[in-house]
């Protein structure tokens, strides 16, 4: 008998279990079992499976006897964090709270579950641990709204009108969703918690709208359904369509249930628009660019154990490029730093994401205020936006976002070389020497001593301290990323950080080539004369970006350079 959403008892129907080696589930290998569980009246040969999404965890299953088919989603069987229910537990509770939810034709809500057990041993047929579950829901008609939008030509008035009507329909559907599934005790709306265009399906022949990916519905944390969809559709299509969505939502929402100002990103953020943690205005800005001051994007709810980028890959891709999510990949910038390169498949889009404390983020913004040009410097992947991280409704840190025009790290480039050959050794030394020269020039451009906001405290040295390199072999372009706190006087210098990085990647000789390029640039770099210092005053009253440790390793200075250095030191004491 085919599984029907309407036959579900209170809670999910338990259809049975499958056994997979090490819990690695491949649906094509289990078609016989799936066919028996989903529709025992249909021949197995008629069943087809198609993967959707980017995480290799969601599939569509169809057969001739049931053209609508099913959507199955693999979810962990164990709780990820203490106190947070599994997806199966959450769906069970929602069905008990709202018995009619599985029959709602606007929702593709799970109605059944299949347990996945690991095999106790490769040669054994006995079931081992319960490692995952397959949530089964009906297959909703239509395409993801972002896919449908890509087919439109918004230079045509007809397509503009159509999309405006669709967005208004989404607003009406969301208002009905919030009202229909209001908590019976508190009267507050139950939020989707991940309401974005990829979780809305639109069937253009019938005009049907549906909501999918409801396994996290009602979870604690983010309640910014309206704000998230509005921001993303604004970035994908423009203000007209974001307003159509919001205005229809406000017109149809029950104010006692739907509080549009509830957002996890607003509960712990400062209200000033001049700080890094600025609350976005009513009309959210377009996707961030490298111009202007810091932007604050929507927050991410994380467990107390910390941020795991793999758990938020799709959301991060939407935040940074809502118009195109194309097989995003997150690659560690190094084995030690909490920094990653996020790239969009074959698309020419790339960002550097760095985890930081609130104090670190404030220092970075202070640096931008003093040197706005740092955001336009193609040789720096310096942060321009922030994604607040929240645990238990409290801000615990931030992800700092920087754009970069290329995606290859120095570590990846070194891995392509055969360092046993003289040719590749010479090539690597040349590249590293150029990186050293570039670092010297970049640090010289941004030698900031600090601020005078507090006369009683010593001025803070806001020094650039990148720790990793991005390198494009085709254009030979270089960019520095992964910055340490620019106001920490005890932080390791940029030269030392990168020297250690190069040494770990390619050995001591390669690190010496990098340091030699840096030192040569330091010696040849123009220094102001004594006359220039006294003529232009404070413009030259800044210590050289090279620390005392770096200066000691850069070779002896000429007598003229020493005199100029003493004059600079005297000027800084004025």
H-run or E-run covering 257: none
Q: Is pLDDT larger for residue 505 or for residue 318?
A: 505
497/183 Cα distance (integer angstroms): 53
Residues in the chain: 574
Q: Are 326 and 368 in contact (CB under 8 A)?
A: no
374/351 Cα distance (integer angstroms): 16
518/546 Cα distance (integer angstroms): 10
Condensed to tens digits (0 to 9), the pLDDT of residues 300-357 reads 767 777 788 877 777 777 777 765 556 678 888 876 668 888 887 655 678 899 998 8
Condensed to tens digits (0 to 9), the pLDDT of residues 393-437 reads 567 888 899 888 777 889 889 989 998 899 999 999 999 999 999
Strands in 77-207 per DSSP E: 112-119, 127-138, 143-144, 200-203
Q: Which of 171, 264, 241, 248 is nearest to 211 (CA)?
A: 171
Q: Are 496 and 484 in contact (CB under 8 A)?
A: no
Share of the chain above pLDDT 90, in %: 28
Model pLDDT, residue 161: 94
Query: What is the pLDDT averaged over residues 73-90?
Result: 84
Q: Are 217 and 191 in contact (CB under 8 A)?
A: yes
**Mapping DSSP to helix (H, G, I), strand (E, B) and coil, where does residue 69 land?**
strand
DSSP letter string, 189-228: BPP-SS--GGGEEEETTTTEEEE---TTTT-SS---HHHH
Output the CA torsion 533→538→540→545 (10° steps): 150
Model pLDDT, residue 165: 96
Residue 283, Cα to own-chain centre: how many angstroms?
Answer: 22
Q: Is pLDDT larger for residue 398 or for residue 210?
A: 210
Pairing of strands 466-472, 477-483: antiparallel
Q: Are 91 and 190 in contact (CB under 8 A)?
A: no
260/279 Cα distance (integer angstroms): 15
Reported confidence tier of residue 292, pLDDT bands at 50, 70, 90 = very low
Q: Are 131 and 33 in contact (CB under 8 A)?
A: no
Q: Are 48 and 59 in contact (CB under 8 A)?
A: no
Pairing of strands 208-211, 295-296: unpaired
301/83 Cα distance (integer angstroms): 14
Condensed to tens digits (0 to 9), the pLDDT of residues 126-176 reads 557 899 999 999 999 998 898 888 888 888 899 999 999 999 999 999 999
> Minimum mean pLDDT among 239-248, 253-262, 460-469, 532-541: which range?
532-541
Task: Give me the chain's average pLDDT, please.
Answer: 77
Name the DSSP class of 276.
T
| Contacts of residue 244, Cβ cutoff 8 Å, sequence gap at least 6 | 164, 165, 167, 168, 171
Provide the 10 A C-beta neighbour count for residue 313.
Answer: 18
Q: Are 108 and 210 in contact (CB under 8 A)?
A: yes
12/165 Cα distance (integer angstroms): 35
Provide the 10 A C-beta neighbour count for residue 392.
Answer: 12
Model pLDDT, residue 71: 93
Question: What count of Cα atoms within 13 Å lies in the side-chain half-sphere of residue 429?
Answer: 12
Q: Which of 23, 8, 14 is nearest to 74 (CA)?
A: 23
Distance (Å) of CA 272 to CA 275, 279, 281, 398: 6, 8, 11, 17
380/27 Cα distance (integer angstroms): 45
Share of the chain above pLDDT 70, in %: 72
In the structure encoding, which two tokens stand for residue 169, read together? 């329909």
In the structure encoding, which two tokens stand for residue 144, read together? 């993801």
> Minimum mean pLDDT among 17-21, 488-492, 518-522, 558-562: which range?
558-562
60/358 Cα distance (integer angstroms): 42
**Mapping DSSP to helix (H, G, I), strand (E, B) and coil, where does residue 116 land?**
strand
């Amino acid at each position: 008998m085919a599984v029907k959403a309407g036959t579900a008892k209170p809670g999910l129907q338990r259809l049975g279990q499958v056994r997979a080696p090490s819990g690695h589930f491949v649906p094509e290998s289990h078609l016989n079992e799936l066919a028996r569980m989903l529709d025992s009246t249909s021949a197995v040969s008629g069943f087809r499976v198609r993967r959707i999404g980017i995480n290799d965890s969601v599939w569509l299953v169809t057969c001739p006897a049931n053209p609508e088919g099913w959507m199955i989603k693999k979810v962990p069987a164990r709780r990820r964090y203490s106190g947070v229910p599994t997806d199966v537990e959450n769906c069970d509770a929602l069905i008990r709270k709202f018995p009619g939810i599985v029959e709602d034709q606007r929702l593709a809500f799970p109605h059944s579950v299949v347990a996945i057990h690991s095999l106790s041993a490769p040669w054994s047929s006995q079931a081992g641990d319960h490692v995952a579950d397959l949530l089964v829901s009906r297959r909703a008609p239509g395409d993801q709204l972002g896919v449908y939008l890509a087919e439109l030509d918004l230079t045509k008035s007809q397509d503009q009108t159509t999309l405006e009507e669709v967005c208004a329909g989404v607003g009406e559907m969301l208002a009905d969703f919030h009202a229909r599934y209001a908590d019976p005790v508190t009267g507050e709306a139950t939020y989707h918690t991940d309401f974005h265009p990829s979780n809305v399906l639109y069937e253009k022949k019938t005009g049907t709208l549906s909501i999918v990916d409801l396994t996290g519905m009602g979870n604690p944390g983010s309640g910014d359904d309206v704000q998230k969809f509005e921001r993303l559709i604004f970035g994908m299509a423009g203000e007209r369509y974001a307003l159509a969505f919001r205005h229809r939502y406000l017109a149809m929402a029950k104010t006692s249930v739907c509080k549009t100002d509830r957002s996890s990103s607003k509960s712990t953020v400062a209200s000033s628009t001049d700080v890094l943690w600025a609350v976005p205005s009513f009309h959210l800005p377009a996707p961030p660019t490298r111009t202007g001051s810091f932007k604050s994007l929507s927050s991410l709810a994380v467990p107390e154990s910390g941020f795991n980028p793999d758990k938020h890959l799709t959301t991060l891709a939407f935040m940074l490029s809502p118009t195109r999510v194309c097989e995003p990949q997150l690659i560690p910038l190094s084995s030690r730093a909490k920094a990653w390169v996020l790239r969009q498949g074959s698309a020419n889009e790339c960002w550097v994401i760095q985890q930081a404390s609130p104090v670190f983020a404030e220092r970075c913004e202070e640096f931008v205020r003093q040197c706005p040009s740092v955001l336009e410097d193609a040789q720096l992947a310096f942060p321009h936006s922030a994604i607040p991280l929240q645990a238990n409704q409290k801000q615990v840190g931030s992800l700092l976002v920087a754009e970069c025009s290329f995606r290859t790290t120095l570590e990846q480039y070194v891995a392509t070389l055969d360092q046993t050959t003289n040719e590749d050794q010479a090539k690597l030394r040349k590249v590293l020497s150029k990186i050293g020269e570039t670092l010297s020039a970049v640090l010289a451009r941004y030698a900031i001593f600090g601020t005078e906001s507090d006369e009683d405290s010593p001025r803070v040295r806001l020094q650039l301290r990148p720790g990793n390199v991005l390198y494009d072999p085709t254009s030979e372009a270089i960019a520095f990323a992964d910055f340490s706190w620019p106001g920490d006087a005890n932080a390791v210098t940029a030269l030392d950080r990168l020297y250690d990085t190069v040494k770990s990647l390619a050995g001591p000789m390669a690190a010496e080539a990098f340091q030699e390029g840096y030192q040569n640039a330091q010696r040849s770099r123009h220094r102001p004369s004594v006359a220039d210092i006294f003529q232009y005053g404070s413009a030259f009253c800044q210590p050289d970006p090279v620390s005392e440790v770096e200066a000691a390793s850069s070779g002896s200075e000429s007598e003229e350079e020493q005199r100029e250095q003493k004059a600079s030191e005297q000027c800084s004491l004025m």
